[in-house]
Amino acid sequence: MDGGVEKFDLAIAGGGIVGATLACLLDGLDLRVALVERRLPDEGGLPFQGAELRFDARVSALNEFSRRVLVDVGVWSEVRAVRCCDYREMRVWDAEGTGSIHFSAAALGAESLGTIIENSVVLAGLYERLRGQENLTVVSPFTSAALESDGAGANLTGECGRRLRASLLVGADGGNSAVRRLAGISSRERDYEQEAVVATVMTERPHEFTAWQRFLDTGPLAFLPLAAADESEFRHSSIVWSTRPDEAEELARLPDEQFCARLAAAIEHRLGAVEWCDRRFRFPLRQRHADDYVKDNVVLAGDAAHTIHPLAGQGVNLGIRDVAALAEELRNGLAAGRRLNDPVLLRRYQRRRKGDNLGMIWTVEGLRRLFGVQPLPLRWLRNTGLDLVDRASPLKNFLARRAIGA
């Protein structure tokens, strides 16, 4: 502390999955690290665990790369032991049911295509792991409100007036990143004019460890399989229904019974009736990409740098790739005697991640547009193309391997 300013070598603004994973990755380095978070996850155990089986409405499909990172930082086995569901198949089809594609883990020689896991379960595991980390101070509650940079570092001031100083500030504070805005980093944005309605549901038939996705005219609807307390059941899924904002509002307000009926019809009763649904949440969907990931003593990672449509379930996975690359560059740079905020080191991180993130953004955008097209000839082309891809194993395997992060 110096003149009321708390000093660190590196501060991470935002303790979501991406920021907390970075904090774990920096364990063992000779650095004083601060993890700055507006609101910590519930303390005193995991939410949604108790006598009654309840799930967090926010789930992520983690791919192989993300799983490996969580294994490396020593979080995966605890997280896995709580609750998660490996999915082995993915079925995607369009509104008319004329074009479809099917991915299976067995065809790729993999055990699964990914793992569906509640965000609160991952966060609880990460914070448990961080508890004993010697080089880390968790600064919370702290809402970043002002930022100044000079030649040697960045000063971050919270709404509460608390002041922090670090040689390097990592903005991992989500899509509406205050750090990105305060650092004056511009971004390209597109409003998808869609909202995602998210909820846990229970279906008549088991989910078959399959991720189901149907592209409706208004946007994609996904059913992601969840674990169950009773092995014979496996009838819970997490749904992500992306649609026009007016329909999202209507869906969120419908009485449970009517919502369940609409949902079952929208997924063409592939899992029978929808028998129960939990509370519904709405998320506006925007595509964003920061023009720069690096400016002065600030670097961006995760949703602060890029947000994409959830249809391919890649947001967290890209963010974890960001911080894995950043941690590696920082380690290598420190070993070579470089400063943490050395522009050469930070630009190398940006080069490694920008192309990959943009590639995924455009892949997802391509899929979204392909399935959003209305004119009949284009639909015919798309459906024929999908069926061809479905039959062309090498191309299909290439696409699948990229998505599962192999």
The region of 7-15, 103-111, 163-171, 386-394 touching ligand FAD under the rule CB under 6 A is 7-15
Site for ligand FAD in 16-45 (CB under 6 A): 16-19, 36-39
Q: Closest distance between ligand FAD and the C-beta of residue 46, in Å? A: 16
Task: For residue 279, state whether it binds ligand FAD (rule: CB under 6 A).
Answer: no
Task: For residue 171, state whether it binds ligand FAD (rule: CB under 6 A).
Answer: no
Site for ligand FAD in 218-247 (CB under 6 A): 240
Q: Closest distance between ligand FAD and the C-beta of residue 145, in Å? A: 7
Q: How far is Cα 221 from Cα 223, in angstroms, rounded to an integer? A: 7
Nearer to ligand FAD, 274 or 404 (CB): 404
Interacting residue with ligand FAD among 219, 220, 319, 405 (CB under 6 A): 319
Q: How far is Cα 304 from Cα 314, in angstroms, rounded to an integer? A: 14
The region of 79-87, 94-102, 137-145, 340-348 touching ligand FAD under the rule CB under 6 A is 137-145
The region of 170-178, 211-219, 352-360, 384-392 touching ligand FAD under the rule CB under 6 A is 170-178
Q: Closest distance between ligand FAD and the C-beta of residue 360, in Å? A: 10
Q: How far is Cα 247 from Cα 219, in angstroms, rounded to an integer? A: 11
Interacting residue with ligand FAD among 14, 171, 219, 333 (CB under 6 A): 14
Q: How far is Cα 342 from Cα 355, in angstroms, rounded to an integer? A: 21
The region of 8-16, 69-77, 264-272, 360-368 touching ligand FAD under the rule CB under 6 A is 8-16
Instruction: State both tokens at 179.
Output: 């750090």
Task: For residue 9, state whether it binds ligand FAD (rule: CB under 6 A).
Answer: no
- DSSP E strands, 235-329: 236-243, 274-277, 281-290, 294-295, 298-300, 306-307
Binding string, residues 285-304; x marks residues near ligand FAD by CB under 6 A: -----------------xx-
The H or E element that residue 317 is part of is helix 315-335
Task: For residue 60, state whether it binds ligand FAD (rule: CB under 6 A).
Answer: yes
Contacts 24+ apart (CB under 8 A), 155-162: 155/5, 156/11, 156/13, 156/36, 158/36, 162/6
Q: Are 384 and 378 in contact (CB under 8 A)?
A: no
Q: How far is Cα 94 from Cα 86, in angstroms, rounded to an integer? A: 24
Task: For residue 164, state whether it binds ligand FAD (rule: CB under 6 A).
Answer: no
Nearer to ligand FAD, 170 or 379 (CB): 170
Q: How far is Cα 333 from Cα 342, in angstroms, rounded to an integer? A: 8
Residue-by-residue DSSP string for 166-186: EEEEEE---TT-HHHHHTT--
Task: For residue 315, state whether it binds ligand FAD (rule: CB under 6 A).
Answer: yes
Cis peptide before 377, with omega less than 30 degrees from 0? no
Task: List the beta bridge partners of residue 238.
Answer: 200, 224
Q: Closest distance between ligand FAD and the C-beta of residue 335, in Å? A: 27
DSSP 217: T
Site for ligand FAD in 91-110 (CB under 6 A): none
Task: For residue 326, state whether it binds ligand FAD (rule: CB under 6 A).
Answer: no
Q: Closest distance between ligand FAD and the C-beta of residue 281, in Å? A: 8
Q: Closest distance between ligand FAD and the C-beta of residue 43, in Å? A: 14
> Both ends of the chain: CA-CA distance in Å?
45
Task: For residue 138, state whether it binds ligand FAD (rule: CB under 6 A).
Answer: no
Query: How far is residue 42 from each of residues 57, 83, 285, 340, measured CA to CA in Å?
Result: 15, 17, 26, 32
Residues that bind ligand FAD (CB under 6 A): 13-19, 36-39, 60-61, 142-144, 172-174, 178, 196, 198, 240, 283, 302-303, 310, 313-317, 319
